[in-house]
Chains A and B, each alone.
Chain A
Amino acid sequence: MAKMTLEELRKLRDTKKVEIQKRDISGKDSQIIIGMGTCGIAAGAKVVLDAFLKELDTHHIENVSVTQTGCMGLCYVEPTVEVLSPGMPPVIYGKVDANVARLIIEEHIMHSRMVSEHVFDRPSTDIIKDGGK
């Protein structure tokens, strides 16, 4: 199989853009932030990043922002993922694997329901200014 060229990639992008415009995508402008420090990587954060993207692709959701950050200070529950979704409180999920990633997309992102058994409510105190409250 020949390598995809930049021109072919551009065409694919344009095709996707047309598809997105055809769909009703309101209310799905969410943000997923994955902790990608040494701790996160060692615990499988890259598999989780890939799982989130594949799951979003499966559901044809193109406009969720998926970004990475360093260690969030919750090394004991890595991989950690922060999810910001309209109408939902900001949530930090811990011990996320590919299966939990699928649940977060199907429950939190698509149906505004928290995946309660994996919620960790905030970063640990040692990375919050003055130790937090």
Chain B
Amino acid sequence: MHGTLCDFLSDIVQNSIEADAKRIVVTIAERKDTMAFSVQDDGKGMTGEVLRKAQDPFYTDGVKHKRRKVGLGIPFLIQTVESVGGSFSLSSTPGCGTRLEFSFNLGHIDCPPLGNLPATLMGVFGYPGDQEVVVQRTLETSAGGDSYQVSKTEMLEVLGDLSQSGSLNLLREYLQSQETALDELRNHA
């Protein structure tokens, strides 16, 4: 079971990468007591039948692990969303891509903590492969709103190879500074 909301995001983005996506757009929208995520990819997509089965913990496509009979990523997410009064939707078109949206009610007593968002996004950008990843983060509070957007392309251009420890540490520092600005706004609201 995943311990933080960020763990679900990492897991879902990894699904997009394994579905051969070339472009993944992640949105993270925080508003009052709600944290809403969406992950949209242009990967291989799923048929209606597979889409339905992907929500069953005792289903896996069998490609990677021939003898295994479980696939827990999406079922873990659905379980948590249902237990905290959040929302979940999954739509997909074979050959075009998949869109997954999920939100959590932060005020619910069973809602897991957010986790380390800068470190999570560092992992999302640092995942090997030539896929573009765009993250759009927004925060709305009673004292106003703030947002930032980061793309893997611009990070590659500024930092170079995103597999090197030095680059990744700088990337986290950059993402941390974006989140710190949002934290300050939240604390003043």
Q: Which residues of A contact B (CB under 8 A)?
A: 1-4, 6, 9-10, 12-13, 16, 20, 36-39, 41-42, 44, 46, 49-50, 52-54, 56-57, 61-71, 73, 126-127
Question: Could you tell me if A66 and B126 are in contact, using CB atoms closer than 8 angstroms?
Answer: yes
Min C-beta distance of A23 to chain B, whole Å: 11
Question: Could you tell me if B181 and A12 are in contact, using CB atoms closer than 8 angstroms?
Answer: no
- Contact partner of B18 among A13, A44, A70, CB < 8 A? A70
Question: Could you tell me if A57 and B169 are in contact, using CB atoms closer than 8 angstroms?
Answer: yes
Question: Could you tell me if B154 and A126 are in contact, using CB atoms closer than 8 angstroms?
Answer: no
Residues of B within 8 A of A (CB-CB), count: 48
Question: Could you tell me if A3 and B177 are in contact, using CB atoms closer than 8 angstroms?
Answer: yes
- Contact partner of A42 among B7, B127, B174, CB < 8 A? B7
Quick one: which of B151-184 are within 8 Å of A by CB?
Answer: 154, 158-160, 163-170, 172-174, 177-178, 180-181, 184
Given contacts A20-B166, A61-B165, A68-B123, whether A50 and B116 have CB atoms under 8 Å apart is yes
Top 9 nearest A-B pairs (CB, nearest first) are: A62-B166, A4-B177, A56-B165, A38-B73, A65-B163, A50-B119, A3-B181, A64-B165, A57-B169
